[in-house]
């Protein structure tokens, strides 16, 4: 099971980079690049599946199916966004059960009000801490019932309530027995430094392209004590930039732009050859009864 692989990797120490994948094909690209884990970002999932913003529009069933496809596509552990748990204790229980069954190695559960929104957006609000703790307790109990999974407690208190509240929440959540804590919404180097200095134990950081915090490299984040670094939008934004440039060139010139990724590379990425070989081995010969 990939959860065992992820637990062993975290026990080895050293920071683990998990780039965000908006879909199963992007997850293959990340794994092929040699990364040890893939992050199923809710923002990317919503954008790729619905073409809409990350404002709590994806249902629990849609997210679980999206995670299932990603887990089938790669052999490395998948860390998945589980939003706010999609309701009360029973909804959280079902989400954990479905994610375990899908093959997800780790999920993070956040303390936003419902419907949630992307942690980088303005106007993020969080539930009372007792309610957030109840969510996490439900997730931990569901894990005991349905199978092992790494539980990450995420707080979105930083943008609206400040670093003091965010750090206190992270500390409280860590005391519940979760595997890691995660302060989201980080934009500056100073915020990363404060989290590193004041939140003890295994923790996750999310680095978003274009922010001041993006100046920090993996070596520095490792030295700060972070166990996992998520690069939620790097692949999504890079892909959109490439597509935008290619289609703009095609639209303006009426000719295909220079090839940067060809069909043979694509076939190798998606595993066309082994699929064809399997089909040929087991197909019915023409004329047989």
Q: pLDDT, tens digit, for every residue of 142-178?
A: 999 999 999 999 999 999 999 999 999 999 999 999 9
Burial 146-155 (b: 16+ CB within 10 A, else e): beebbbbbbb
pLDDT of 9-44, one tens digit each? 999 999 999 999 999 999 999 999 999 999 999 999
Tell me the C-alpha distance between 239 and 233, whole Å: 10
Handedness of CA 99, 109, 133, 15 (dihedral sign): positive
Question: Are residues 22 and 232 in contact, defined by beta-carbon separation less than 8 angstroms?
Answer: no
pTM: 0.92
122: three-class secondary structure by DSSP? coil
pLDDT of 64-98, one tens digit each? 999 999 999 999 999 999 999 999 999 999 999 99
Domain count, the chain: 1
Whether 269 is in a domain gets the answer no
CA-to-CA separations, 217 to 183, 206, 212, in angstroms, rounded: 18, 12, 12
Tell me the C-alpha distance between 226 and 173, whole Å: 17
Handedness of CA 77, 230, 101, 271 (dihedral sign): negative
The count of C-alpha atoms lying within 13 angstroms of the C-alpha of 171, restricted to the half-sphere facing its C-beta, is 12
Residues of the domain holding 124: 2-240
Whether 71 is in a domain gets the answer yes
Tokens of 158: 């930083």
Whether 196 is in a domain gets the answer yes
Whether 167 is in a domain gets the answer yes
Whether 249 is in a domain gets the answer no
Strands (E), the chain: 16-21, 38-40, 78-81, 106-110, 150-155, 180-183, 203-206, 228-231
Phi/psi at 140 (nearest 5 deg)?
-65, -40
pLDDT of 193-226, one tens digit each? 999 999 999 999 999 999 999 999 999 999 999 9
Whether 57 is in a domain gets the answer yes
Whether 256 is in a domain gets the answer no
CATH of the domain at 31: 3.20.20.60
Whether 211 is in a domain gets the answer yes
10 Å Cβ neighbour count for 224?
16
Q: CB neighbours of 183 closer than 8 A, spacing ≥ 6?
A: 154, 155, 157, 158, 166, 167, 170, 195, 199, 203, 205
Tell me the C-alpha distance between 19 and 33, whole Å: 10
């Amino acid at each position: 099971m990939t959860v065992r692989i992820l637990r062993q990797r975290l026990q080895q120490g050293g920071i683990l980079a998990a780039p965000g994948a908006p879909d199963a094909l992007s997850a293959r690209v990340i794994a092929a690049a040699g990364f040890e884990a893939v992050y199923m970002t809710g923002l990317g999932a919503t954008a790729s599946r619905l073409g809409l913003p990350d404002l709590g529009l994806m249902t629990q069933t849609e997210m679980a199916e999206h995670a299932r496809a990603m887990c089938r596509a790669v052999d490395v552990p998948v860390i998945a966004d589980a939003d706010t748990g999609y309701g009360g204790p029973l909804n959280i229980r079902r989400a954990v059960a479905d994610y375990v069954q899908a093959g997800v190695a780790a999920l993070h559960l956040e303390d936003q009000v419902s419907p949630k929104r992307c942690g980088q957006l303005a106007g993020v609000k969080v539930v009372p801490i007792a309610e957030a703790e109840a969510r996490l307790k439900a997730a931990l109990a569901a894990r005991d019932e349905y199978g092992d999974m790494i539980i990450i407690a995420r707080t979105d208190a930083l943008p609206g309530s400040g670093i003091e509240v965010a750090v206190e929440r992270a500390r409280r959540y860590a005391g519940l027995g979760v595997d890691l804590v995660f302060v989201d919404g980080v934009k500056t180097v100073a915020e990363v430094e404060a989290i590193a200095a004041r939140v003890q134990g295994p923790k996750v950081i999310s680095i978003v392209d274009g922010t001041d915090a993006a100046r920090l490299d993996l070596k520095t984040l490792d030295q700060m004590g972070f166990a996992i670094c998520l690069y939620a939008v790097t692949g999504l934004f890079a892909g959109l930039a490439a597509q935008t440039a290619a289609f703009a060139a095609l639209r303006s010139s009426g000719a295909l732009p220079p090839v940067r990724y060809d069909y043979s590379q694509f076939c190798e990425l998606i595993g066309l050859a082994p699929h064809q070989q399997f089909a040929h081995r087991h197909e019915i010969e023409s004329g047989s009864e």
